[in-house]
């Protein structure tokens, strides 16, 4: 089954400080984040992706470049798959900002497409820029002759929102199960939908971080940074 591996970038200084960092280009990787990215690729010596893709954010590009250096594969930088924007909460590290962001994330996961932080994006806006990229990846790399796995380096909150939308995982699971740096959500393509544009694809959730089926809300990751 061709699989889309949604990979959260390596650790950044913002992650260490629990800073809400969404605006492009954003923070770069820490030394530990660099090691995470290299280790991610080294631990998958049999990986043979047909494409390695990343967002425009500095942390995602660095992560993908390090992965690609191990796999001898040049990453493609695509627009539209950066983190959901937190607007006026950008760069804040205080508990009030974290709580407000967390409340908004819960609204998004429970179906409020129009909820948004002041100056930030709604879930509808995230879907409008992110989902067409997924459709294009399906049409180009996950369907037809030569189809194979794709690794896409993106961002924790956006990955969780997109993966929850594409699969039947419960909102409570998606809310409570954060992704650590270089954690993945793996989506197997069950049906490619339209061969021309990739729309209407059907997905099977294979892995979410360290979890495999059944995907139940228990035992989440309360220690994760807010953007995870």
**Per-residue pLDDT at 58:** 98
Task: Classify residue 179: in a domain, yes or no.
Answer: yes
Whose structure tokens read 């627009």? Answer: 79
**What percentage of the chain exceeds 70 in pLDDT?**
95
119 backbone φψ class: left, alpha, beta (φ>0; ψ -120 to 50): left
Radius of gyration of the chain (CA): 16
CATH code (residue 27): 3.40.50.1240
Backbone CA torsion sign across 5, 9, 15, 19: negative
Number of domains composing the chain: 1
Of residues 201 and 119, which shows the higher confidence score?
Answer: 119
Query: Considering the domain boundaries, does residue 226 fall inside one?
Result: no
The three-state secondary structure class of 142 is helix
What angle in degrees, to the nearest 10, is found between the helix axes of 31-42 and 58-71? 40
Residue 197 maps to a domain:
yes
Is residue 214 included in any domain, yes or no? Answer: no
- Tens-place pLDDT, residues 85-113: 999 999 999 999 999 999 999 999 999 99
DSSP symbol at 115: -
pLDDT, tens digit, for every residue of 26-80? 999 999 999 999 999 999 999 999 999 999 999 999 999 999 999 999 999 999 9
Measured CA to CA, the distance from residue 206 to residue 204 in angstroms comes to 6
| 220 domain residue, yes or no | no
Residue 218 within any structural domain of the chain: no
Q: Range of 179's domain?
A: 3-208
181-221: per-residue pLDDT in tens?
999 999 999 987 765 655 788 999 999 999 998 888 776 66
Q: For the chain, report the end-to-end CA distance as a whole number of angstroms.
A: 27
Is 221 inside any structural domain? Answer: no
Partners of 204 in beta bridges: 188
Q: Given this model, what pLDDT does residue 159 score?
A: 98
Tokens of 36: 């995470």
Q: How many helices (H) and strands (E) does the chain have?
A: 7, 6
**Residue at 162 is within a domain:** yes
| Vertex 18 angle, CA 133 and 211, to 5° | 60
Phi-psi region of 123 (alpha: psi -120 to 50; beta: other; left: phi over 0): alpha
pLDDT at 217: 77
């Amino acid at each position: 089954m061709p699989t889309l591996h949604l990979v959260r970038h390596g650790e950044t200084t913002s992650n260490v400080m629990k800073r809400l960092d969404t605006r492009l280009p954003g923070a770069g990787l820490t030394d530990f984040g660099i090691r995470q990215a290299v280790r991610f690729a080294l631990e998958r010596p049999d990986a043979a992706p047909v494409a390695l893709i990343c967002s425009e954010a500095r942390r995602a590009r660095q992560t993908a470049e390090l992965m690609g250096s191990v796999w001898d594969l040049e990453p493609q930088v695509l627009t539209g798959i950066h983190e959901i924007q937190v607007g006026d909460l950008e760069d804040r590290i205080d508990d009030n900002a974290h709580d407000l962001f967390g409340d908004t994330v819960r609204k998004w996961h429970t179906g409020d497409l129009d909820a948004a932080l002041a100056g930030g994006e709604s879930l509808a806006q995230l879907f409008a820029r992110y989902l067409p990229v997924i459709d294009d990846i399906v049409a180009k790399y996950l369907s037809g002759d030569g189809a194979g796995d794709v690794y896409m380096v993106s961002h924790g909150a956006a990955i969780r929102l997109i993966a929850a939308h594409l699969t039947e995982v419960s909102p409570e699971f998606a809310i409570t199960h954060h992704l650590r740096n270089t954690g993945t959500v793996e989506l197997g393509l069950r049906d490619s939908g339209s061969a021309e544009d990739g729309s209407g694809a059907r997905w099977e959730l294979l892995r979410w971080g360290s979890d495999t089926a059944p995907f139940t809300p228990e035992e989440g990751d309360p220690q994760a940074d807010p953007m995870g």
